[in-house]
A and B are shown apart, each in its own frame.
Chain A
Amino acid sequence: MAKLVIRNGRVIDPASGLDAVSDVAIDGGVIAAVENNIDATGAEEYDASGLVVAPGFIDMHVHLREPGFEHAETIETGARAAAAGGFTSICCMPNTQPVNDNATVTRFIVETAWRMAKVNVYPIGAITTGSEGEELAAIGSMKQAGIVAISDDGRPVMNSRVMRRAMETAAAMHLPVIDHCEDLHLSSGGDMHEGVESVRRGLRGIPAVSEEVMVARDILLAELTGARYHVAHISTRHAIEMVAFARSRGLPVTCEATPHHLALADEDMPPYDSNYKMKPPLRGHEHVNAVIQGIASGAVDAIATDHAPHAGSEKMQEFERCPFGIIGLETALGLALDRLVHPGHITLARMVALFTTGPARILNLDRGTLRPGATADLTIFDPNRQWTWDVNRSHSKSRNSPFHGRTFRGGPVATIVDGAVIWSVD
């Protein structure tokens, strides 16, 4: 593989504590050196002056819709959107058709990704067969086939006994359990966050407590079983507090936050616009602030997009009939800079950690660092470049984004996987 030297970037590698202007040399698909004035004889050079050079971003929560819903997204198109968002690795949730609850489906995803995807794709297996919440899925053979975690994302395991067994199994197999925390009885029929706005609009509410009771249950079960437990798309104040509490007790409990839960509150929703409909729903301002504070205080370990493509026709319906979810890969970095770094809540290095070492540690991935010898996955971004998001130019097959037309300060410039530039900005 050709040698590549990235010149004069601000190299931020949280894993090694590095944040300095430096060169990065890549050789044979791995990081060869991170130092000043690297001799580039015979190498291609990339001028990264004024840019940040970071380990490749990892999005631990996406929906690629393949197999089964290829009209909304495929592994190929989802991976392209990921690359355009600065992500070099993505982890796909199992709610496909068929559900990724056995090694055959896992292998299909791994092999399709190998052929079609420009970024690394790590499947997440289902907790229960068909994500129906009753019988445990073939977790062991899925692990052998390549899953990095288990989750019944979108269809949370309501039966606590089943969840207990799942956690025991996952602990024995060294897999984290990721839960979409939602008590389906409390949230039943809900379309948006329960609060003044839902009452005003005559829409049924999804109360914050529907998330919080499940976080509480899961933390207790994690303590009982010794499982590594991760809260997906955390969105409420008490959920953040409980994760922090669990950590203070030394439990291996982690959580992720989505960019949209940092950027929007329920009040920001235009009337009945389904591009603002997702789960968890956009919460009230006090929750948005709590999640941001949770990131600032270190209670939140990762930023994950919950990229959830839906075809236009699915979102062109009565609000209550529209499916939940928005696409998010291409706006994640812009939103994180906007909501976290520019206002001064966290440093640039900490933001990079949320996109790299955070998810890598949770999922035990051998990625997310620029140490010599590491796989050469890199994200190069400009923390200040002004750009405007045009959803019609998205690499995703779907267009369901509430951020269309939004102007960002800062965004990805180039994405490098295994030492090769797989995407760069126009």
Chain B
Amino acid sequence: MPGLLGIEQLERSEIQAILDRTRHFQPIQNQSFRRLDVLRGRSVVNLFFEASTRTRTSFEIAAKRLGADTVSISASASSVSKGESLVDTLNTLAAMRPDAIVMRHAASGAPHFLARHLPTPIINAGDGTHEHPTQALLDARTILDRRGTLENLHVAIIGDIAHSRVARSNIYLLSRYGAQTVLCGPPALLPRELAKIAPGVRLTHDMRDAIKNADVIMMLRVQLERMHEPAIPASEYFRFYGLRPEHVELAHRDVIVMHPGPINRGREISSEVADSQKSVILNQVENGVAVRMAVLERILAPAAENN
């Protein structure tokens, strides 16, 4: 794999290989501090142009557990704030010859742009409102752990779909497995064209309709920082699109509730649901490290996968 820019371009076999390999890294997490050395002597640069705690930390831990050296740079601390262009920043970093660059950026397509100009493999850790591929992979791993299969699931994705890179990556991934995905949110955050980006996608503005018989409920964070206009009065959001226990009862009895975090209790999800047995929010975080280990290994040391 030359890098990981998004799920959209990935074959199902590639996705499956990463998910299978992730299992191999899950037990290690339970034996704390155990390090592997498949990436010994390799360096991974985490370049975060946008604030992030969990994704950055997760990538950092994943790289370290594989024995790689990591450097994390956040935009506010770098020369970006001194007016250096993205190309120059990346050229500078590339000249230091890292083996991979993990990158988060507020502009959709920023990693694709750089991948065209740099030889270094780039792993997209979230680009604007486009894709967040490792999030979709860890979500898929979490679903597999709890439901045993990804085939033909009913999945409800609820919230600000328009601005969600998590939603896009999940839609692409789930559609590869024949999922029926229902997207639900207020009209301004749910462009009609979403129904056409992958097979098996349906839209609704009614949360009960979305959740009925769902195997998986994915809640999205309300992204105030990406909203350029009030899409819905803040006072109405929770009333119409906040997940509460009475909604969960409409779903399949083994439903799982997911959220990419950070959660806003009382805005898009009630505390009762977030802390319930149905919630797998912390499992997602845990799987984040394992999935990122699998991705890093696949890109930097593909031969190691056979061990």
Contacts and interface: CB of A to CB of B under 8 A. Distances in A.
A189 B107 CA distance: 12
Interface stretch (A34-42, A79-87, A172-180, A310-318): A310-318
B107 A201 contact: no
Contact of A271 (B86, B112, B191, B194): B112
A199 B228 contact: no
Given A196-B193, A320-B128, A203 B85 contact: no
A114 interface: no
B112 A202 contact: no
A319 interface: yes
Given A316-B87, A317-B87, A321-B107, A200 B8 contact: yes
Contacts of B127: 202
A319 B105 CA distance: 12
B196 A196 contact: yes
Given A188-B228, A189-B228, A313-B85, A202 B110 contact: no
Interface size class of B (residues with CB under 8 A): 20 to 34
Interface in A221-239: none
A318 B8 contact: no
A189 B106 CA distance: 14
Contact of B107 (A195, A205, A318): A318
Nearest to A198: B193
Contacts, number: 66
A402 to B, nearest CB: 14
A245 interface: no
Nearest to B131: A202
B113 interface: yes
Of A194, A199, A319, most buried by chain B (CB within 10 Å of CB) is A199
Given A189-B228, A200-B8, A202-B165, A319 B197 contact: no
Q: How large is the interface on A (under 10, 10 to 19, 20 to 34, 35 or more residues)?
A: 20 to 34
B130 interface: yes
Contacts of B196: 196
Contacts of A317: 85-87, 113
Contact of B168 (A198, A202, A318): A202
B289 to A, nearest CB: 26
Interface string B38-75: 00000000000000000000000000000000000000
Given A318-B86, A320-B128, A199 B108 contact: no
A46 interface: no
Most buried by B among A194, A201, A205: A201
A271 B128 CA distance: 14
B108 A319 contact: yes
Given A196-B197, A205-B191, A272-B112, 5 more contacts: A199-B191, A199-B194, A202-B131, A202-B168, A203-B128
Interface of B: 8, 85-87, 105, 107-110, 112-113, 117, 127-131, 162, 165, 168, 191, 193-194, 196-197, 228
